[in-house]
């Protein structure tokens, strides 16, 4: 899969910072506003998809391959399990053990933002890895569809 | 009867999606039927969490803007249920993954058989 021109590459590189910032905001304020881990993970994966579309799947596979996607997905799943097992400090599995308050403050959720961050890692890396796997299909048509090498 | 009108809308959307899956022969229309069934289920479960408070209008369960002075007790009395909305966010992400997988399968079928017609895909050999 080929990349695009220099203008598209530069603009995508600038936009990735803003998309990642917005995704992190949606993840961390999951207990205040609609969002949370799943929606924020999808936004982060969409930012990485923008880079794949702009730079080409081959170049992105050298920088962030499927192996890194699988590793980060597993880190997210293990982090979620750690947050759940740490609930044993307060007596029960997955109980909310950090101090929490009623209201709309940022630190009022207890252990929910940590679970949100772990879920965002899991969903984002999983969607990015799935997209890389699905983009590995090459259409075996005539010679007008072959990739240009040494361009 | 008027209280159940939103639920009847969701059942109607579900029926339209079921009609698209059962009757249509084009693969893309069947995919649209699957998506329609998924979205109607999400809408139904979000609408279950709605409630009309006694005094005042219903509030969305988000942080109120700084220029609106809403006290905590009033917010708790007027807001709708936020739990179905949070769970439906995960369901929408699941629907996204299902749609992506089905569309890739449809693209591969089109490359192999040259058509999206289901009756012709059954007849041709691989």
CB of B51 within 8 Å of a chain A CB? The answer is: no
Residue A99 confidence (pLDDT): 64
B99: contact with A, CB 8 A cutoff: no
pTM of the model: 0.80
The average confidence (pLDDT) of chain A is 81
- Is the predicted ipTM greater than 0.85, yes or no? no
How large a percentage of chain A has pLDDT more than 90?
40
In chain B, the N- to C-terminal Cα span, in Å, equals: 54
Residue B26's pLDDT is what?
A: 93
Enclosing domain of residue B72: 2-123
Q: Do B85 and A34 touch (CB under 8 A)?
A: yes
Distance CA A134, CA B97 (A): 12
B53 close to B72: Cβ distance less than 8 angstroms: no
The CATH number for B90's domain is 1.10.287.3510
pLDDT per residue as tens digits for the range A112-143: 888 899 999 999 999 998 888 877 765 544 33
The predicted structure's pLDDT at residue A35: 84
Predicted pLDDT of residue A147: 44
Q: In which band, very low, low, confident or very high, does the pLDDT at B107 lie, cut at 50, 70 and 90?
A: confident
pLDDT at residue A131 in the model:
86
Contact B75, B64 (CB under 8 A): yes
Q: If you ran DSSP here, which 8-state letter would residue A106 be given?
A: T
Contact criterion met (CB below 8 Å) for B53 and B77: yes
Beta pairing partners, B59: B79
B79 pairs with which residues across the strands?
A: B59
For residue B91, what pLDDT is reported? 93
Q: Distance from B106 to chain A by nearest Cα, in Å? A: 13
Closest Cβ opposite residue A38 in set B72, B93, B111? B93
A142 interface with B at CB cutoff 8 Å? no
Chain B, nearest residue to A104 by Cα = B63
Q: Residue A140: in which H helix or E strand, if any?
A: none
Contact A36 B89 (CB under 8 A): yes
Higher pLDDT pick, A146 / B31: B31
Interchain CB contact of B90 with A (< 8 Å): yes
Predicted confidence (pLDDT) at residue A41 exceeds the cutoff of 90: yes
Q: For residues A17 and B72, which has the higher predicted lDDT (pLDDT)?
A: A17
How many separate domains does chain B show? 1
Question: What's the pLDDT at A96?
Answer: 67
Rounded mean pLDDT of chain B?
87
**Considering only residues 50 to 109 of chain A, which have any Cβ-Cβ distance to chain B shorter than 8 Å?**
102-104
Residue-wise pLDDT for B90-103, tens only, equals: 999 999 999 998 99
Residue B108 confidence (pLDDT)? 85
Residue B22, pLDDT above cutoff 80:
yes
> Do A69 and A132 contact (CB within 8 A), yes or no?
yes
Return the C-alpha torsion angle B57, B58, B60, B63, nearest 10: 50
pLDDT band at B15 (very low <50, low <70, confident <90, very high): very high
Please answer yes or no on whether A33 and B96 come within 8 Å at the CB atom: no
- In this predicted structure, the answer to whether residue B63 has a pLDDT above a threshold of 90 is no
Helices (H) and strands (E) in chain A, counts: 5, 0
| Residues of chain B numbered 68-87 and touching chain A (CB < 8 Å) | 72, 85-86
């Amino acid at each position: 899969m080929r990349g695009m021109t220099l203008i598209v590459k530069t603009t995508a590189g600038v936009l990735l910072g803003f998309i990642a910032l917005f995704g992190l905001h949606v993840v961390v304020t999951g207990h205040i506003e609609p969002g949370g881990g799943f929606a924020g993970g999808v936004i982060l994966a969409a930012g990485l998809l923008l880079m794949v579309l702009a730079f080409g799947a081959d170049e992105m596979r050298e920088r962030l391959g499927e192996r890194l996607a699988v590793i980060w997905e597993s880190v997210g799943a293990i982090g979620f399990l750690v947050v759940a097992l740490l609930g044993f400090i307060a007596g029960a599995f997955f109980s909310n053990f950090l101090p929490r308050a009623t209201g709309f403050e940022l630190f009022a959720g207890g252990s929910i933002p940590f679970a949100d961050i772990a879920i965002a890692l899991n969903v984002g890396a999983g969607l990015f890895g799935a997209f890389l796997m699905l983009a590995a299909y090459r259409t075996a048509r005539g010679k007008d569809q072959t990739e240009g090498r040494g361009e | 009867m008027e209280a159940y009108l939103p639920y009847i809308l969701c059942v109607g959307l579900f029926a339209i999606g079921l009609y698209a899956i059962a009757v249509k022969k084009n693969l893309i229309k069947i995919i649209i039927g699957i998506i329609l069934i998924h979205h109607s289920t999400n809408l139904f479960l979000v609408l279950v969490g709605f409630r009309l408070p006694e005094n005042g209008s219903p509030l969305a369960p988000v942080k109120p803007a700084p220029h609106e002075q809403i006290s905590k007790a009033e917010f708790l009395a007027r807001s709708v249920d936020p739990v179905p909305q949070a769970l439906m966010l995960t369901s929408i992400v699941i629907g996204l993954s299902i749609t992506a997988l089905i569309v890739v399968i449809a693209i591969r079928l089109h490359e192999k058989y040259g058509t999206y017609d289901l009756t012709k895909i059954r007849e041709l050999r691989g």
